[in-house]
Amino acid sequence: MPASMRVTRLLLEPVLAIMLSLVALAVLLAVSGYSVPAALSALWHGAFGSWAVLASGTLVRATPLLFAGLAVAVAFRAGILNIGAEGQLLAGAAAATAVAVTVSPQLGLAGAGLALVAGVAAGGLWAGIAAFLRQQFGVLEVISTIMLNVIMLHLTGLLVRGPLQEPTATFPQSALIDQALRLPRLVPGTRLHAGVVLAVCSALLVWWFLRSTARGFRLRMTGANPRAAASAGGIHVARVATSAFIASGAIAGLGGAVEVTGVTFALYENLSPGYGYTAIAVALLARLNPMAAIGSAVVFGALEAGAAAMQRDAQVPAGMVGVAEACVILVLLASEWIGARAGRISTLFWGGPPPTQHSVTPSAAVDPA
């Protein structure tokens, strides 16, 4: 396939998916009796209305989505269906908070760095449980990561009512993280923090890793066809898959750590409004490409920020945006099929050009072993 065609297709389908989903949203709004122009205008203004809104709303929300989206992309590319970014993100947030409220504020940015490292470790560890269960006991990671998400949610609830509760012990949340240990603001007067730079750098790093390193190549091969990777490539498939799983959790954990040190400054139960699940849509819209995930995270960040504005200004339930997000995924899945019918059947199979370039989903979604 010529490069120009590939780029067109790479852009065409996501744009189509977003537009169709906005149409679905408009229809749903109309059916529910809301004023479609008023609601969509509130959505737009809440997402892109001004520089301040763009920075404080859209980009701030895009940051955890990008981290979690990268986590999903890395795992899916390795053929691991990690649905657990939500729990791994929370684990990272909890660990980072624990460190940040313990260390001396005099450490400054180094202290913030420590908190981020703790987040990475906790996210990796939480994913590591699922990776271990998969490796040692053959427990489907889809089931185990969903279970671990719920367990982490309740664990967070336990932490903010117990060991990590704020000093007055009245509210179910942790103490506020000291000013000195917070991530610096990028633009004064907005909520935009240094974490967004970290997220973009992570995206570039993951992109480079997958594209240009031998380990990245082994990861992609493991995801594309584990049996061929093992027999023809001599790749230690199990080890690669486990590492990718843990790395995926670590990235999500970093996202959680960035969220508490950059945005919320405290740990509480409903820290994530489902970032880990929306991340699946983020990764799919980007066709599992880490670079494209930057744009895709901004799109979903805008949707989330716009949804909040829509609820505030047009009294439209924010859940409606969840419907739009689900539509994005379903339309993308369907468009892959339509694309295939248009004479590109070869890309359906592992034999074609690198499958992850074209396929929304890993070919070997479920390891038959």
Partner 1 sequence: MNTLADFLDASVRSATPLLLAAIGETVSERSGVINVGLEGTIIVGCLAGLAAATVVGPTGALVVAGMAGLALALVFAVVAIWIGADQIITGTAITMLGLGLTGTLYRVLYGDSGSALSTPTLAPLGIPLLQDLPLIGHALFRQPLPAYLATALVPAVWWWLNRTHSGLAIRATGENPAAARSSGISPRRVQTIAVLFGGLCGGLAGGTLVLAQVGTFAEGMSAGRGFIAIAIVALGRWSPVGAAMAALFFGMASALQFLFQALDLNLPYQIFLALPYLLTLLALALAKGRYRAPAALGARVRVVELA
Nearer to partner 1, 206 or 316 (CB): 316
Q: Given the rule CB under 8 A, which of 94-102, 179-187, 214-222, 323-331 is the region that contacts partner 1? A: 323-331
Task: Tell me: does residue 137 bind partner 1 (CB under 8 A).
Answer: yes
Task: Tell me: does residue 310 bind partner 1 (CB under 8 A).
Answer: no
Nearer to partner 1, 198 or 320 (CB): 320
Task: Tell me: does residue 23 bind partner 1 (CB under 8 A).
Answer: no
User: In the chain, which residue ranges form alpha helices assigned H by DSSP?
Assistant: 3-31, 36-48, 51-53, 60-77, 85-100, 109-137, 141-159, 195-212, 214-224, 226-231, 237-259, 275-285, 290-314, 319-341
Task: Tell me: does residue 284 bind partner 1 (CB under 8 A).
Answer: yes
| Burial grade of 358 (CB within 10 A; 0-12, 13-18, 19 or more) | buried
| Three-class SS state of 366 | coil
Encoding tokens for residue 279? Answer: 């991340």
User: Could you tell me if 269 and 153 are in contact, meaning their C-beta atoms sit under 8 angstroms apart?
Assistant: yes
Task: Tell me: does residue 146 bind partner 1 (CB under 8 A).
Answer: yes
Residue list 192-211, contact with partner 1 (CB under 8 A): none
| Three-class SS state of 174 | strand
Selected from 50, 205, 334, 346, the binder of partner 1 by CB under 8 A is 334
In 3D, which of 82, 101, 92, 103 has the Cα closest to residue 283? 82
Could you tell me the smallest distance in angstroms from the CB atom of residue 262 to partner 1? 26
Q: How far is CA 280 from CA 86, 93, 142, in A?
A: 10, 19, 13
Selected from 2, 163, 234, 368, the binder of partner 1 by CB under 8 A is 368
Task: Tell me: does residue 36 bind partner 1 (CB under 8 A).
Answer: no
Residue list 93-132, contact with partner 1 (CB under 8 A): 129
How far is Cα 96 from Cα 266, in angstroms, rounded to an integer? 10
Binding site for partner 1 (CB under 8 A): 28, 32-33, 81, 83, 129, 133, 136-140, 142-144, 146-148, 150-151, 154-155, 157-158, 161-162, 277, 280-281, 284, 315, 317, 319-327, 329-330, 333-334, 336-337, 345, 348-349, 360-362, 365-366, 368
